[in-house]
Structure 1
Amino acid sequence: MKKSINHHINNLPAIAVLIALIGFSGLSSPKAQAQQVDFGADMVNRYVWRGLDFGNAASIQPGIEFSQGGFTVGTWASYAMSPVSAGASELDLYASYNFGAVSIGLTDYYFPNAGVGFFDFSDDGGAHILEPSLSFNGTENIPITLYAAINAYNDPDNSIYIEAGVPFSVQETDLQLFAGFVPAESAYYATTKAAVTNIGLSVQKELTITENFSLPLFSSYILNPYSETSFLVFGFSL
């Protein structure tokens, strides 16, 4: 994908660190009680991301997130459970700011088992891929979601991904139809041309266990028309 932001943006790792520091600096402020801290983990039968299979293995996906006002900073990971060798390991850092229905974000993708050290921030095969993104989260009058992201650092193709979704509900179940595509050739998304890589339906529901505890369940049917593969993913959150 040659239409790009210049991928030689040498200060992007510093920007990512700065954003994280700004987010964590609020922990010692007098308004710390206004912050929200979330942590937990998802258990999934398979890790499928944007229509790509990250190994035929069940995975555990922990996360920690801090938020205050419209600002959020966090970390998320995915680790294959069994067989470990079949799945990818991933450990990401991210930050975002919400302006009502619109959000901007930056994600640092890091793959521990890729054979590159964490502190290798080079833009030619280094350990980190930086992806700024822009999303529209929908409103009452415009009930759709839109998401666009570009690999702006350490991806020669500067790969772009764009996705649209239509959320709706049936009784107490939340659903969303979605479709995502890559608008040009991308080694990152395993395409040789513009392609639709991710269409499907996701479902979420709370399973009541006791009066004070419920278990969030989710499932997605995912079709990648370009690679002619499909997946049925199921998971729950703790």
Structure 2
Amino acid sequence: MKFRLLLFTACLSLSVFSQEAAMKKDTVSVEKVKRLDLNLDIVSRYLWRGQCWGGDYVAVQPTIEYAVTSKFSIGFWATTNFQTEYFYSDGVSLYKGYQEIDFYATYQINDFLQFQVWDYYWPSVSKVDGVNNSFFNYRNDGVKTVDALLYFDFSEGYKYPFNATISTLVAGNDFRYDSNGEHPKQNYTTYFELGYTFTLFEKSLAKGLRDIFLEPVVGAVLNNQAAYYNYADYDKVSLCNIGLTATKEIHLVKDLIMPLSLNYTHNGATTNTELFGKNFVVASLSFSY
């Protein structure tokens, strides 16, 4: 009986010790989790899904993201090209100044699927007559849009490192009209994108050749009757974003990474590409912490 009692006491002590050790380990892990991510992109021009915004001017794009939990994050993203004029002197509606402010939230459903909600805001279009650029105006005269998307990412730990995005505008100024330009209806414009990641020289003995990625992408807007994608076809599926990006990651110091990227994008739309053309080359320099 004494032996059984001694054995039970030893097991209980060992169990309590193991739990305490696990709790301490979890506490240390939680403390080491990086909750705040900072990123600054400097790009030769702002290109979004094959759409050129702000002309051929250098843009600066900061990102601030905070991990509320291990799966849920909130963030802020912005872009500006530091230009103030909205129209050229001849009156052609070709943007020079362009600013955008976005807020977003992400939820990691599992190891390859993430749900995101983005709130887009373009305050620079306030100089257009008939536009109300209030931050809380989601009507058809506003400059706000809400984008809900699913992001599939198999780039790590899977045999085929592809990614996919399904994006649908669920609120805000995304309206289509009848033949008389009346009776606005929410269009729910949907965009689909498929990409792949090639990791080059991953096992190279030369460190300078490692961390080089090649990423082809094909993106199309499926129902652009609201003309939300200005530089795409309005009456059919439009392959507006066909591109290839080469990226080299440079690790400067602990937790500070500087990716260098060169992107080529072809807008395959058959119409509405006259203002900026169909082909773009964009260079970018980033600082991530």
User: TM-score when scaled to structure 1?
Assistant: 0.79
User: One-letter code of the match for 1:60?
Assistant: V
Shift of 1:51: 0.3
Which of 229, 233, 258 lines up with 1:189 in the alignment?
229
Larger Cα Rg: Structure 1 or Structure 2? 2
Number of residues of Structure 1 aligned to a counterpart in Structure 2: 208
Which of 144, 167, 179 lines up with 2:218 in the alignment?
179
Counterpart in 2 of 1:9?
Answer: none
Q: Residues 119-130 of structure 1: matches in 2 within 5 Å?
A: 119-130=135-146
Counterpart in 2 of 1:24?
Answer: none
Counterparts of 1:212 and 1:37, CA distance in 2: 12
CA contact (8 A) 1:120 1:127 kept: no
User: One-letter code of the match for 1:41?
Assistant: L
| C-alpha spacing 1:83/1:129, structure 2 compared with 1 (3 Å) | closer
Counterparts of 2:263 and 2:35, CA distance in 1: 28
Higher deviation after alignment, 120-129 or 61-70: 120-129
Counterpart in 2 of 1:42?
Answer: 41
Instruction: Specify which structure has the higher proportion of strand.
Output: 1
CA contact (8 A) 1:58 1:82 kept: no
Counterparts of 1:201 and 1:160, CA distance in 2: 22
> Counterpart of 1:176 in 2: which secondary structure?
strand
Counterpart in 2 of 1:166?
Answer: 196
Note if 1:203 corresponds to 2:246: yes
Note if 1:232 corresponds to 2:262: no
**Displaced runs of 4 or more, over 4 A:** 31-35, 82-85, 208-214
User: One-letter code of the match for 1:176?
Assistant: E
CA contact (8 A) 2:219 2:239 kept: yes
Which of 103, 119, 131 lines up with 1:93 in the alignment?
103
Q: Residues 1-238 of structure 1: matches in 2 within 5 Å?
A: 34=33, 36-56=35-55, 57-67=57-67, 68-81=69-82, 85=86, 86-98=96-108, 99-115=110-126, 116-138=132-154, 140-154=158-172, 155-156=174-175, 157-171=187-201, 172=210, 173-186=212-225, 187-190=227-230, 191-192=233-234, 193-207=236-250, 215-226=258-269, 227=273, 229-238=278-287
> Counterpart of 1:81 in 2: which secondary structure?
coil
The answer to which structure, 1 or 2, has the higher relative contact order (CA under 8 A, 6+ apart) is 1
Aligned-residue identity in percent: 27
> Counterpart of 1:113 in 2: which secondary structure?
helix
| C-alpha spacing 1:75/1:32, structure 2 compared with 1 (3 Å) | farther
CA contact (8 A) 1:130 1:151 kept: yes
User: TM-score when scaled to structure 2?
Assistant: 0.66
> Counterpart of 2:82 in 1: which secondary structure?
strand
Shift of 1:89: 0.6
Higher deviation after alignment, 197-206 or 110-119: 110-119
> Counterpart of 2:148 in 1: which secondary structure?
strand
| C-alpha spacing 1:151/1:66, structure 2 compared with 1 (3 Å) | same
Shift of 1:123: 2.7
Counterparts of 1:182 and 1:211, CA distance in 2: 40
CA contact (8 A) 1:38 1:66 kept: yes
